[in-house]
Copies of this chain bind each other. A is one copy, B any other.
Amino acid sequence: MTTHPAQDDSTGAGLSHFNDAGGAHMVDVGGKPETRRIAVASGLVRMRPETAAVIREGRAGKGDVLGVAQIAGIMATKRTAEIIPLCHPLPITHVDVSLEVGQDLVAIRAEVATFGKTGVEMEALTAVSAAALTVYDMTKAIDRGMTIESIRLESKSGGRSGAWERTDG
């Protein structure tokens, strides 16, 4: 019987997603304790002011782009481990995706929580990405040039490596 000691996925010395032979593997988190873990990610869709105006009006009743994108973000969170090859499947306990229209952009923020052996950073980033793609899909007929920008982790807490918070604004 082969034995397989629990591995550390946060040593910083190298990429933990590869085994000694240089092959990809799903890191062993079996020896890590289950703790409450939260991650917050954000991103935005940059667009023409006219496009932002159409979305703002829709919110008021004629076609709710942000409502659909919110659902897309929540549902994608649950499929993160299907999309990201080496991501662990996790029992998500909470997802909140919010979207706000600005002058020439839609700002997206996702908060995801679990009680598990590894963090939910990828789940939060995937939620933001899916919501952003959905905003693009629903408005591309009037603005093909939109860009998705600044998808990034804002903070995380829980787990051995502890809390992390973005400090560069």
Residues of A within 8 A of B (CB): 1-2, 4, 9-12, 14-19, 21-30, 36, 38, 40, 43, 54, 58, 61-65, 67-68, 70-72, 74-79, 81-98, 111, 113-117, 121-122, 125-126, 129-130, 132-134, 136-142, 144-153, 155-157, 163-166, 168
Contact = CB atoms under 8 A, between A and B. Distances in A.
B67 A67 contact: yes
Contact of A54 (B15, B43, B83, B147): B15
A136 B153 CA distance: 10
Candidate in A15, A61, A113, A115 with the most chain B CB atoms within 10 angstroms: A15
A23 B144 contact: no
A23 to B, nearest CB: 6
Given A125-B133, A130-B84, A113 B25 contact: no
